Amino acid sequence: MAEAEPGLTIGISGPARQRLTHRLIRFGLSIYGAKTLFIRPGSKVDVSMLDGLVLSGGTHVHPSRYGQEPEVSARYDRTRDETDWRLLTEAQAHRLPVLGICRGAQLINIFRGGSLCQDITPLRVNTRHRPLLLPLQTVRLVRNSLLGRIMLGPTIGANRIHSQSIKRLGRGLRVVALDNDYFVQAVESEEGHWLLGVQWHPEYLLYHPLHRRIFEQFVAAVRTHKLNRLGHIEGPAL
């Protein structure tokens, strides 16, 4: 395990109570030398003090965020919605690298003006609607994309723990992965900075080298951004 670098801190948004998924995300980042800060709903953390941001999974984003009323029975956490929205707003202002996982990918899309399909269960044709912790779902990747370069191939096996999906794509985003029913499995920025949202949960697949690369490449982007920012602040060496 790499030694954590002083000053390299990644914020991880989450619910009031930290769960296994968040501990796994923290572990996945620590493997590559990052310290982490868990951010609970209502937190007033100063995003300018972070070097990167992970928007983790959890409860559904309330449909009012994309102009709809709830169509399914679900748990919502409006305080977390508000906190994550602020975190992403400030992260984008500082051009921090951002990784969205499941709910986090959906929030990125909503933040950019997109929408969600609130229940994809009756729309499945080629896939079964059941939770999969193992990487048994086929995901097809866009080769010429950040995610395609990370995963080193045109298809991967991924897990599936979601019942909603991106519907209308947000501004400045591109779809870079689909499942066999053409539901969006990943989006990334078209605007030149490191912004990636994946619909699956790579933190449960840390034993898999390709899924581990998501955390490796994210930390590498955070490190590069940090060094560039320090260089800009401190100026060239004499």
Active site residues: 102, 201, 203
> Among candidates 112, 103, 30, which has minimal Cα distance to 61?
103
Give the C-alpha separation, 222 to 207, whole Å.
22
Q: Provide the b/e sequence for 26-60 (b: ≥16 CB within 10 Å).
A: bebbbebbbebebbebebebebeebbbbbbbbbeb
Q: Which helix (H) or strand (E) holds 73?
A: none
C-alpha to C-alpha distance for 234 and 226, rounded to whole angstroms: 12
- Tokens 């982007």 correspond to 221
Contact 156, 139 (CB under 8 A): yes
Q: Which 8-state DSSP code applies to residue 62?
A: P
Point out which residues pair with 140 in neighbouring strands. 155, 178
**Element of type H or E holding 155:** strand 155-160
d(C-alpha 3, C-alpha 31), whole Å: 8
